[in-house]
């Protein structure tokens, strides 16, 4: 189980790191104020600095409330059951992206929908396959044929001559 | 001007005869990759060519226009670099194709592109507000010289053609402006019409709407010869009535921007020939002539050695300004 | 009243069977591209552009503008149903529209959205008809300092709105600004913060962020809560559309206020997105029960939609009269004008009155057509929510990633959308407000450019923001908006203190 305290601290550390990346990237362009106003790096620099300082603020206040014995922080952020649900949704999504960039988006779309409907949603094969191929066909004709927008394609699409 | 076009088409015709059968043909839809956002000058250039090709059925395959205007157009050239060897990606740009790598750290080099053709030269003029007391370039430059650093020159983007030209004028005359970069020529035109800046160096097309209404007026054009006569635009004056900057007494003769077409590196030579041929056919249609006249550009078709020579010369002239101004990054 | 004669003439031009058919076709196509995320109005318009090469300009612009109206309506549809704004300007519609859909009031939310959008558009067009000459002259007064003041005003109206921790609000807003600075900086010509990754050269697209933060973030949270999607239970009756229409007059004040905000932001260069955010903020601020906002308050749908469409139609005027495109879509249409052989600019009204007034007349007709067509689709769209989540969930995932890819045909954007999805999920669970991030991303770079251009104008002096009555009053309004809530909470604090003391004594 992840407590709210851990999640707060983790997120604040992540935004702090993001702020520092921005600050570091902005220094290259000058952060001062010259005769024509702020230098190119000034605006991102102060944005990054604000992010970093406000993240520190969140860190300090969270730790402070923890020391003060705030009950809300000890609450669950994500219990085992919830985590399972989120991960069972997130991992197929990740797999969909990986398949998209390797096998092409149409193949990925069909595989992903089949997996989600047949094995997660427990639908029968007929509605599953109909939905999966129907969706792929809809996007193929809507995007490639009608709108002439092409999606990522892999070896299978090339083989089919799409 | 006319003599030149005839000579050019003659050269081109003899070229075409030298290469009889085109071996390469497109086999799938062609992407026109545009180095500007929708509505920009390069976008209009690519889309008018698309419309002419479609109308005259010059290419069998369908054409898809893709706008990649990020990083002042660098995104399109980087996309071209990624399409190495793929002759179905045609990149449309200006001189930015070979000038951008000088002024910004970008992930492509000019050698990542294969030159195909240039179809026109876009002109630059000095424009002032319609109510401005200055009626010729000399008087305006003298006024700027008298009060250095108080006149404002608007242009589109930074370290791009407008600012380069401003730097060249400053260098040649000793005048000094405050250069204010805007998002594009349209904004620079409105800012001048609203009297927020003193002048801009817009292309004819970017200021024509405001000139028609008398909100701005042209002082001189940076071209070796006057522009084609055309219809009168405002108060009976037309493009051909604008003096060249040399006539107006400025020690700077010419500044023009080519409208260019590129392919990725390592494409078959036949493919380059194929597109150069298509572009040449486009450049001879009445629709193209009408477009060029309406936007007051100078029609000039270039390919092969003529194009590479032009590019080399233009690159050298611009690179000198970049060095003097301290814009070079590498 | 010369304009009325011209308008009547315009109706003669626009009211032909051919043009009405084009309007219907445009609106339907527009709804389709609007509903598919990633294929927003700008894509739709540039897709149709080649088809218009052979048309006469009036027919061509009627087709394109109808497509634009359709896409705007389509964009609101996905905002309400799936929390995925199809257009930047329909982000604010998600705040209350999606909660309504989740409570099973999708039909009501959609009907409110479409009806108020139609109302806003009409208000915008009426303004164009009455004041075209004046507006064009007024817009010329705007330079960089005034632009900055308008953007500043939008921010000022929006901060201090939510009840979130100030630290978290600052993190969220500053992150939005930071994302907006990535890529080519047009004022200096430098490429900023890309760490030499080419994929970042064009910056982080706002649409990718929205698809991730809103669409995917929402899905992850719905999953965690265990597939509770109350919309499933709701019955959709066509009658609901009519019932909602009858309820609309009750919100006359919100409609009026939002139209004014929208028109104002449309003719000044704020644009539809800023207008919808500002209108939402003003609705919440002036409401007697602001705590209802964000939980499915109809006024939270009506206000941004009205302002969005009022601004969208009012912004056509600067495009035609000055040649400044107010939005990406307007930029594509301007490209179209050039190809058809027209030069946008002050003289267009004089040289081609048939075109301009035909277009204005078609804006009246096109919006009426669009509202009727989209209202007819409400039962259809609302019943999408009755499909079990285990089908619709993965389908939305597919749509989100396809949308992310089609924005710029970049593989990288798919990964970026996933990353934003995670950010959205964590931010929502930890009460980081997302709206400031989105708003900062949309107008952050414009505000920065305007500020730095102003500083070049004044050679580094801030006094330029008080240098004329126009910019001075804009800045004063902005500061008032910024300080008012602070003063309000200070006063409440003092009152609490004094009553506490009085109670003690």
A84 & A72 share domain = no
How far apart, in whole angstroms, are the C-alpha atoms of residue C86 and residue C68?
A: 12
The phi, psi pair for B24, rounded to 5°, reads -90, 135
CB-based burial, C8-31: b 16+ in 10 Å, e otherwise: eebbebbeeeebbebbbebbbbbb
pLDDT tens digit string along C419-457? 999 999 999 999 999 989 988 998 888 899 999 999 999
Helix residue ranges per DSSP H, B21-91: 41-56, 74-82
Q: Is the dihedral of CA A107, A108, A109, A111 positive or negative?
A: positive
DSSP-assigned states of every residue in B197-265? SSEE---HHHHHHHHHTTSEEEEEE-SSSPPP--SEEETTEEGGGSPBTTTTT-S----EEEEEEEEET
A88 & A109 share domain = yes
How far apart, in whole angstroms, are the C-alpha atoms of residue C446 and residue A26?
A: 18
- Which pLDDT score, from 0 to 100, does residue C502 have? 62
CB contacts, 8 Å: A15 with chain C? 171, 175
Angle between helices C271-286 and C144-158 (to 10 degrees): 40
Domain count, chain A: 2
Q: How many residues does chain C have?
A: 505
- Which pLDDT score, from 0 to 100, does residue C37 have? 62
How far apart, in whole angstroms, are the C-alpha atoms of residue C348 and residue C360?
A: 13
Cα separation values, A138 from A15, A109, A110, C411, Å? 40, 11, 12, 21
CB contacts, 8 Å: B101 with chain C? none
Q: Do A44 and C181 touch (CB under 8 A)?
A: yes
A84 & A153 share domain = yes
pLDDT tens digit string along C77-122? 988 988 888 777 888 999 999 999 888 888 899 999 999 999 999 9
A106 & A145 share domain = yes
| Residue C138 banded pLDDT, cuts 50, 70, 90 | confident
A17 & A50 share domain = yes
Which of these, C325, C199, C317, lies nearest to B40 by C-alpha position?
A: C325
Mean pLDDT of A67-96: 90
- Which pLDDT score, from 0 to 100, does residue C56 have? 86
User: What structural domains and CATH numbers belong to chain B?
Assistant: 2-121+257-325 (3.40.190.150), 125-241 (3.40.190.10)
A68 & A104 share domain = no
CB contacts, 8 Å: A149 with chain B? 64
Q: What is the ipTM of this complex?
A: 0.96
Mean pLDDT of C42-51: 78
pLDDT tens digit string along B200-250? 999 998 898 899 999 999 999 999 999 998 889 999 999 999 999 999 999
- For tokens 């015709």, the residue is B13
A131 & A92 share domain = yes
The phi, psi pair for B189, rounded to 5°, reads -65, -45
Judged on CB neighbours under 10 Å (0-12, 13-18, 19+), C84 is buried
**Boundary of a domain, candidates A61, A78, A95:** A78
**Boundary of a domain, candidates A51, A78, A105:** A78
Site from A1, A8, A15, A96 to mutate, C interface, most C CB atoms within 10 angstroms: A15
A27 & A62 share domain = yes
Give the dihedral of Cα atoms C299, C303, C309, C313; nearest 10 deg: 140
- Which residues of A lie closer than 8 Å to B, measured between beta carbons? 36, 148-149
| Residue B18 banded pLDDT, cuts 50, 70, 90 | very low
- Which of C171, C216, C394 lies closest to A112 in CB terms? C394
Interfacial C residues in 329-388 facing A (CB < 8 Å): 388
Mean pLDDT across chain C: 86
How far apart, in whole angstroms, are the C-alpha atoms of residue B41 and residue B45?
A: 6
Which of these, C294, C320, C50, lies nearest to B186 by C-alpha position?
A: C320
Which of these, C479, C472, C436, lies nearest to C91 by C-alpha position?
A: C436
- Which pLDDT score, from 0 to 100, does residue B5 have? 47
Q: Do C203 and B44 touch (CB under 8 A)?
A: no
Q: What angle do CA B17, B23, B28 make, to 5 degrees?
A: 130
Q: Is the pLDDT of residue B11 over 50?
A: no
CB contacts, 8 Å: A135 with chain C? 395, 398
Q: Cβ(C214)–Cβ(C441) under 8 Å?
A: no
Q: What angle do CA B75, B77, B79 make, to 5 degrees?
A: 70
CB atoms within 10 A of CB A155: 11
Q: What angle do CA A119, A124, A127 make, to 5 degrees?
A: 110
**Boundary of a domain, candidates A78, A102, A121:** A78
Q: Do C171 and A15 touch (CB under 8 A)?
A: yes
Interfacial B residues in 206-265 facing C (CB < 8 Å): 208-210, 212-213, 215
How far apart, in whole angstroms, are the C-alpha atoms of residue C397 and residue A117?
A: 13
A49 & A88 share domain = no
Q: Is the pLDDT of residue B171 over 50?
A: yes
Q: Is C219 at the interface with chain A, CB within 8 A?
A: yes
pLDDT tens digit string along B124-140? 999 999 999 999 999 99
Interfacial B residues in 35-64 facing C (CB < 8 Å): 37-40, 43-44, 47-48, 50-51, 54-55
Q: Is the pLDDT of residue C9 over 70?
A: yes
Q: Is the pLDDT of residue B3 over 60?
A: no
Helices and strands: H and E segment counts in chain B = 11, 13
| Residue B28 banded pLDDT, cuts 50, 70, 90 | confident
A62 & A131 share domain = no
CB contacts, 8 Å: B62 with chain A? 148
Gap from A150 CA to chain B (nearest CA, Å): 10
Mean pLDDT across chain B: 90
Domain residues for the domain of A71 are: 2-78
How far apart, in whole angstroms, are the C-alpha atoms of residue A72 and residue C225?
A: 19
Interfacial A residues in 82-121 facing C (CB < 8 Å): 82, 85-86, 88-90, 92-94, 96-97, 100-101, 105, 109, 112-113, 116-117, 120-121
Token readout for B278 is: 């298509």
A84 & A140 share domain = yes
A52 & A106 share domain = no
């Amino acid at each position: 189980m992840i407590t709210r305290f851990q999640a707060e601290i983790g997120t604040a550390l992540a935004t702090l790191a993001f702020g520092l990346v921005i600050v570091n990237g902005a220094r290259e362009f000058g952060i001062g104020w010259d005769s024509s106003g702020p230098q190119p790096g000034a605006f991102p620099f102060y944005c990054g600095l604000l992010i970093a300082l406000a993240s520190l603020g969140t860190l300090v206040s969270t730790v402070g409330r923890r020391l003060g014995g705030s009950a809300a922080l000890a609450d669950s952020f994500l219990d085992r059951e919830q985590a399972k649900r989120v991960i069972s949704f997130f991992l197929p999504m990740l797999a969909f992206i990986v398949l998209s960039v390797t096998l092409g988006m149409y193949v990925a779309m069909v595989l992903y929908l089949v997996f989600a409907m047949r094995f997660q949603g427990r639908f029968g094969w007929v509605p599953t396959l109909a939905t999966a191929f129907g969706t792929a066909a809809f996007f193929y004709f809507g995007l490639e044929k009608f709108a002439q927008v092409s999606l990522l394609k892999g070896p299978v699409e090339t083989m089919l001559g799409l | 001007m006319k003599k030149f076009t005839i000579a050019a088409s003659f050269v081109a015709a003899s070229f075409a005869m030298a290469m009889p059968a085109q071996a390469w043909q497109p086999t799938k839809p062609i992407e026109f990759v545009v180095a500007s956002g929708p509505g920009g000058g390069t976008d209009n250039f690519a889309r008018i060519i698309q419309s002419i090709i479609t109308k005259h059925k010059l290419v069998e395959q369908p054409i898809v226009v893709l706008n990649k205007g990020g990083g002042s157009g660098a995104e399109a050239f980087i996309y071209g670099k990624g399409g190495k060897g793929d002759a179905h990606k045609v990149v449309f740009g200006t001189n930015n194709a070979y000038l951008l790598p000088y002024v910004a750290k970008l992930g492509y080099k000019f050698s990542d592109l294969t030159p195909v053709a240039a179809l026109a030269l876009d002109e630059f003029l000095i424009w002032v507000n319609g109510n401005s007391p200055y009626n010729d370039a000399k008087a305006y430059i003298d006024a700027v010289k008298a009060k250095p650093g108080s006149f404002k020159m608007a242009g589109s983007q930074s370290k791009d053609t407008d600012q380069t030209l401003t730097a060249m004028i400053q260098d040649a005359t000793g005048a000094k402006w405050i250069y204010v970069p805007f998002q594009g020529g349209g904004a620079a035109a409105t800012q001048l019409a609203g009297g927020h800046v003193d002048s801009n160096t817009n292309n004819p097309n970017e200021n024509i709407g405001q000139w028609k209404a008398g909100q701005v007026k042209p002082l001189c054009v940076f071209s070796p010869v006057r522009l084609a006569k055309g219809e009168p635009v405002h108060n009976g004056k037309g493009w051909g009535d604008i003096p060249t900057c040399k006539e107006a007494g400025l020690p700077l003769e010419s500044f023009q921007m080519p409208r260019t077409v590129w392919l990725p590196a390592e494409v078959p030579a036949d493919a380059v020939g194929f597109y150069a041929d298509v572009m040449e056919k486009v450049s001879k249609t009445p629709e193209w002539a009408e477009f060029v006249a309406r936007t007051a550009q100078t029609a000039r078709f270039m390919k092969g050695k003529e194009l590479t020579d032009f590019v080399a010369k233009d690159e050298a002239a611009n690179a000198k300004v970049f060095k003097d101004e301290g814009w070079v990054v590498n | 009243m010369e304009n009325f004669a011209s308008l009547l003439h315009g109706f003669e031009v626009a009211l032909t069977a051919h043009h009405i058919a084009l309007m219907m076709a445009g609106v339907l196509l527009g709804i389709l591209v609007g509903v598919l995320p990633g294929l927003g109005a700008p894509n739709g318009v540039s897709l149709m552009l080649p088809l218009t090469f052979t048309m006469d300009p009036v027919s061509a612009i009627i087709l394109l503008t109808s497509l634009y109206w359709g896409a705007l309506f389509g964009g609101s549809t996905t905002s309400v149903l799936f929390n995925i704004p199809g257009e930047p300007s329909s982000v604010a519609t998600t705040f209350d529209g999606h909660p309504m859909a989740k409570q099973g009031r999708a039909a009501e939310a959609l009907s409110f959205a479409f009806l108020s959008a139609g109302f806003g558009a009409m208000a915008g067009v009426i303004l164009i008809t009455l004041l075209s000459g004046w507006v064009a002259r007024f817009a010329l007064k705007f330079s960089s300092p005034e632009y900055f003041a308008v953007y500043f005003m939008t921010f000022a109206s929006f901060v201090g709105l939510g009840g979130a921790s100030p630290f978290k609000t600052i993190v969220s807003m500053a992150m939005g600004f930071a994302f907006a600075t990535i890529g080519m900086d047009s004022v200096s010509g430098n490429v900023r913060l890309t760490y030499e990754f080419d994929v970042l050269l064009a910056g982080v697209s706002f649409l990718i962020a929205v698809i991730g933060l809103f669409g995917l973030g929402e899905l992850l949270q719905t999953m965690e809560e265990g597939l509770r999607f109350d919309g499933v239970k709701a019955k959709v009756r066509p009658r609901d559309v009519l019932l909602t229409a009858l309820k609309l007059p009750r919100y006359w004040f919100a409609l009026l206020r939002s139209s004014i905000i929208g028109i104002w932001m449309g003719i000044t260069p704020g644009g539809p997105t800023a207008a919808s955010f500002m209108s939402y903020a003003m609705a919440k601020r002036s409401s007697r029960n602001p705590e209802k906002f964000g939980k499915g308050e109809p006024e939270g749908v009506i206000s941004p939609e009205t302002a969005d469409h009022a601004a969208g139609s009012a912004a056509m005027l600067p495009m035609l009269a000055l040649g400044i495109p107010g939005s990406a879509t307007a930029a594509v249409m301007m490209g179209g004008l050039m190809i058809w052989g027209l030069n946008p600019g002050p003289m267009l009204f004089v040289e081609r009155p048939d075109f301009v007034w035909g277009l204005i007349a078609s804006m009246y007709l096109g919006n009426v057509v669009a509202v009727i067509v989209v209202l007819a689709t409400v039962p259809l769209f609302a019943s999408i929510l009755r499909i079990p989540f285990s089908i619709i969930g993965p389908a939305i995932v597919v749509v989100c990633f396809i949308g992310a890819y089609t924005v710029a045909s970049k593989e990288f954007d798919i990964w970026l959308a996933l990353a934003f999805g995670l950010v959205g999920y964590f931010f929502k669970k930890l009460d980081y407000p997302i709206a400031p991030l989105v708003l900062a991303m949309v107008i952050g770079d414009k505000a920065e450019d305007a500020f730095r251009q102003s500083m070049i104008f004044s050679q580094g002096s801030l006094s330029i923001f008080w240098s004329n009555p126009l910019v001075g009053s804009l800045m004063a309004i902005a500061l008032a908006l910024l300080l008012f809530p602070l003063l309000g909470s200070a006063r409440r604090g003092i009152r609490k203190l004094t009553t506490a003391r009085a109670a003690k004594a």
